[in-house]
């Protein structure tokens, strides 16, 4: 696993971004970018190379599912692994995310081991 990968964490709740950042630091990932919604994250993608996106579903301005669809519809960014981390555990939400091209789906609350496993899986695809 290449710990030099650049990870973009997208969540409107700053405490959740801090939790995910802490887990990523524990896993020895050092380059972590943060955005508070899909619109800000999309702007960041235009300026920074990103190797993985970890995004919430429910956010203002641009939701995580809309951000996922935007990423997947872009020739430049469509192949970036994208993990949805959300409280939305409904089967239809999971199906919608899979159909939109999500690489992994985690329902909050979650453990560091769960995130690490989903990241390993997303990077291996």
How many CB atoms are closer than 10 A to CB 4? 10
How many independent structural domains does the chain possess? 1
- Secondary structure of the chain: what % helix, strand, coil (to 5)? 45, 20, 40
Specify if 1 maps to a domain.
no
Q: What is the pLDDT along the chain (125 residues), one digit of tens a residue?
A: 557 899 999 999 999 999 999 999 999 999 999 999 999 999 999 999 999 999 999 999 999 999 999 999 999 999 999 999 988 788 899 999 999 999 999 998 999 999 999 999 999 98
Specify if 109 maps to a domain.
yes
Specify the 3-state DSSP secondary structure of 46.
helix
Cross-strand partners of 7: 32, 52
Angle between helices 38-47 and 64-72 (to 10 degrees): 30
Report the CATH number that the domain containing residue 112 is assigned in CATH: 3.40.50.2300
Tell me the whole-structure pTM to 2 decimals.
0.95
Check if the beta carbon of residue 38 is closer than 8 Å to that of residue 10: yes
Specify if 91 maps to a domain.
yes
């Amino acid at each position: 696993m290449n710990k030099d990968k650049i990870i973009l964490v997208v969540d409107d709740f700053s405490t959740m971004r801090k939790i995910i950042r802490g887990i990523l630091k524990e896993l020895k990932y050092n380059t972590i970018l943060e955005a508070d919604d899909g619109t800000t994250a999309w702007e960041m993608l235009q300026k920074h190379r990103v190797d993985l996106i970890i995004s919430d579903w429910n956010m203002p301005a641009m939701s995580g599912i809309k951000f996922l669809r935007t990423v997947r519809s872009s020739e430049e960014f469509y192949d970036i692994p994208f993990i949805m981390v959300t409280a939305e555990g409904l089967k239809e939400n999971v199906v919608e995310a899979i159909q939109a091209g999500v690489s992994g789906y985690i329902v909050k609350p979650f453990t560091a081991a769960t995130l690490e496993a989903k990241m390993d899986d997303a990077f291996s695809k």
